[in-house]
């Protein structure tokens, strides 16, 4: 499975926030923001800080996308 954070970037646009604003407000490292930008996995702690900062649920900022390897035929 792959992780998509497209929902997170849409929320940031809607709130007129930049990635650096999220990083500062959530108290997460720049390395974590970079991982989010690349669609890589981050710790649950990072996701919880982002959700708390944006006052949203985890499903509002990310989704899991099945890959061909995970599909059953």
pLDDT per position as a tens digit, 9-63 = 999 999 999 999 999 999 999 999 999 999 999 999 999 999 999 999 999 999 9
| Residue tagged 């995970």 (tokens) | 70
In terms of residues, how long is the chain?
73
Gap between the Cα atoms of 6 and 29, Å rounded: 19
Nearest-angstrom CA–CA distance, 33 and 40:
10
Domain total in the chain: 1
**pTM for the complete prediction?**
0.86
CATH number of the domain bearing residue 24: 1.10.260.40
Domain assignment of residue 16, given as a range: 2-65
- Structure confidence by residue, pLDDT tens digits, 34-43: 999 999 999 9
- Statement: residue 73 has pLDDT above 70: no
pLDDT at 16: 97
Asked if residue 70 belongs to a domain, the reply is no
Q: Is residue 46 part of a domain?
A: yes
Instruction: List the structure tokens of 72.
Output: 């059953």
């Amino acid at each position: 499975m792959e992780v998509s954070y497209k929902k997170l970037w849409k929320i940031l646009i809607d709130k007129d926030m930049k990635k650096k604003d999220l990083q500062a407000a959530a108290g997460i490292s720049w390395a974590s923001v970079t991982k989010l930008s690349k669609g890589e996995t981050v710790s649950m702690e990072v996701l919880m800080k982002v959700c708390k900062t944006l006052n949203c649920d985890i499903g509002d900022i990310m989704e899991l996308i099945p890959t061909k390897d995970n599909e059953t035929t």
